[in-house]
Amino acid sequence: MNTTSKSLTWEFDQIVLNNYLANQNAAAEARCKAEGTDWYVINALTAYDLARMGVYTVEQYKLWASYNDALEAEKEDRKNSY
């Protein structure tokens, strides 16, 4: 196996993922400012943080994020059902 090409692919995936996260944050921030929101939160995750959780690509991030969103929604439903 050519380890150089695998390493370059991994590095490229990390760059693409960091750019995706930055663009998502910029879009959210712009939307909040346009709506006149006084307070908002942006995602502080980096490709390094996500790699520690086994997430290396944008596609994996989208799956991971939707899974975590579903878990949070389920948790809120349980909390609000009492």
DSSP assignment of 31-48 equals: HHHHTT-S--------HH
pLDDT digits (tens, 9 = 90+) for 17-75: 999 999 999 999 999 999 998 888 888 889 999 999 999 999 999 999 999 999 988 88
pLDDT at 2 over 70: no
Amino acid at site 30: A
pLDDT for the residue numbered 67: 95
pLDDT for the residue numbered 10: 85
Q: In sequence order, which residues have a C-beta less than 8 Å from that of residue 10 and are 6 or more positions away?
A: 56
At residue 20's C-alpha, the angle toward residues 35 and 23, to 5°, is 30
Q: How confident is the model at residue 1 (pLDDT cuts 50, 70, 90)?
A: very low
What is the spatial distance between Cα 41 and Cα 79, in angstroms, rounded to a whole number? Answer: 23
pLDDT for the residue numbered 26: 94
